[in-house]
Chain A
Amino acid sequence: MSNVFIIRADENISFNYVSELIKDHKHIQIIMKGDESKALELLRFLTELYPSKSITLIIER
């Protein structure tokens, strides 16, 4: 699927859970609350796992 898939999350979210959620989507937007460094860690995980997907991260304060 190539639609934009939006996830709202906070810093307690499981990385594996997110990777499962996005696995069938090509364009993902993650809106995340909380710690910025946790969000960047999540991105390291996701971009290594899915290097071809388009991922946008928005931090919400």
Chain B
Amino acid sequence: MTSFDVIITSDRTMMSNHHGKEFLGFVATGPPIFMPEWFWMWLAAPKMKVDKLGRPWQAPYGLRKIEAALQDNGINAAIIDPDHIKKYLNDAKVLAIGHHDYFALGPPSSEWWVLTGKEPINARSFRKFMEKPEIRKAKEHGLKIIVGGPAAWQWLWKPELVKNWGIDTIVEGESEKIIVKLVEKALNGEKLPKYIHVGVDEVPSLEEIPLIKHASINGLIEIMRGCPRGCKFCSVTLKPLRFYTLDMIERELQVNVREGVKGCILHSDDVLLYGADGIKPKPEPLIKLHELAKKYCNSLGWSHFSLSAVKYAEDNYKLITKIAEIALNENNYGGVEVGIETGSPVLARKIMPAKAAPYKTDEWPNIVKDAFGILHDARIVPAGTLIIGMPGETPDDIMKTIELVDDLKDYRSFIVPMYFVPMGVLKNNEWYKARPTEEQLELMKACLRHDLRWIDDLAKWYMKDTNIITKVMLKILISLIRKTASRYNLFERMHIAEAKEELIVKA
């Protein structure tokens, strides 16, 4: 019987391709309200197809990198679907787990938790996974558990779970280099450190980043690491900038295509800075990148653009129009996440002084509006995030952001407020009982109004190639959200504004 020394896995909310729709994965950050929990799990995280060994067809990109790093070093490791780990845990020596949000302490999970008072699905699912009897049993027989990924920091706030679940090592940061040494220690029966924080000096160089060997979720592949903008709320900015070569990118595209993944999501914290001159996008590398990706993929999407790069690229080179022409099929939209963060230039100066560059930070609200207009015309749908609750934020900053959200109403987009729970508050086990201020709630309502304005158009596009059950279920869900919003007068402000507009038109 096949066995693996190292099992790499995560819970179901991570090990799913979300019906082939990356954005549906975010549904798992919400709590199970309106519908039973099984329905939310089915909608956000359907089971992944597996091979006869229980290896998933697609797996999170970060786990694929760990798998590749270990296999390249001759270690008998594999990613196994969470429903299939039982048969390997008797023989495995290491269980390596990664996650984006283990305990729902990061946004937007923390925000939904605060607003509803109910624990989000991702944290529930992860807890159920960790409490599987087979993991407890294997632990008693000496299994070493190593946890990492973007949410590794959350374990530092959960010492009781580190102890109860027998976590041996927490790894924070880019771990492709460190994981090999760590696993070798575990396999040799050596003592493991409790915690490793990978500093900037220890991140892998471009040559040391392994290439994935099997398909990633929805064909997501990385094109660069790091970001030069230096925003205070973002850890990516601490990492050195590294651009993947086109050859590296092509090899990962080939892996996904070979294993039957038809789409591709180009991932970096600002895709438009691929091959850039500092923070100024350059046409040649971007066009080559998109032509290469399109050669392999039917549908092409992006993880993140920065709005100042959108404006610069279009104003100087008509580059957004050009890459949309390459990437998007006729009559189709594309999607991308963008950081609006705030509508207040004062707050922008404090928390993200280089986010507007090469433009001035004072121009930030206009940059956002221009960029949304450019994306609208190019049929690219931005999912814009806002940060609420940053230290130093004032009610006036929030009011400026509400004005900006209102100004964006005619642009096809989705706007998601990210309510930041201050770290210090997490010490309290009932942190989620923290309440947003009146202004913050007003901003959240403004975002909901914006999203409900566009949701039917966007749902029609986004769900057009999914099965009928998913379509119907999503329609029911949208209708429930709309009804709830009406019941709690969440449209009130819009009604007044619309009434005013009507009066002006009539006059």
Contact = CB atoms under 8 A, between A and B. Distances in A.
A58 B197 contact: no
Contacts of B172: 47
Nearest to A45: B156
A36 B423 contact: no
B160 interface: yes
4 pairs of A and B residues whose beta carbons are closest in the complex: A54-B199, A37-B159, A57-B195, A55-B197
A58 B199 contact: no
Contacts, number: 63
B198 interface: yes
Given A27-B201, A36-B163, A47-B172, A56 B157 contact: no
A28 to B, nearest CB: 9
Contacts of A44: 156-157, 423
A47 B194 contact: no
B201 A26 contact: yes
A56 B235 contact: no
A57 B160 contact: no
18 contacts: A27-B199, A27-B201, A37-B160, A39-B195, A40-B159, A41-B159, A44-B157, A47-B172, A51-B238, A52-B200, A52-B238, A53-B197, A54-B197, A55-B199, A56-B193, A56-B196, A56-B197, A59-B194
B107 to A, nearest CB: 17
B464 interface: no
B315 interface: no
A51 B235 contact: yes
Interface string B143-170: 0000000000101110110110000000
Interface of A: 2, 26-27, 36-37, 39-41, 43-44, 47-48, 51-59
Contacts of B193: 56-58
Given A52-B238, A55-B196, 20 more contacts: A26-B199, A36-B194, A37-B159, A39-B194, A40-B156, A40-B194, A41-B156, A41-B159, A44-B157, A47-B156, A47-B197, A48-B423, A51-B235, A53-B197, A54-B197, A54-B199, A55-B195, A56-B195, A58-B194, A59-B194
Contacts of A26: 199, 201
Contacts of B199: 26-27, 52-55
B487 interface: no
B52 interface: no
B191 interface: yes
Contacts of B198: 54
Interface string B177-206: 000000000000001011111111110000
Given A54-B201, A56-B196, A58-B191, A36 B162 contact: yes
A36 B161 CA distance: 11
A2 B200 CA distance: 12
A47 B201 contact: no
A2 B201 contact: yes
A3 B39 CA distance: 53
A48 B391 CA distance: 15
Contacts of A48: 423
A57 B155 CA distance: 14
B194 A57 contact: yes
Contacts of A2: 201
A27 B202 CA distance: 9
Given A2-B201, A47-B153, A54-B202, A36 B159 contact: yes
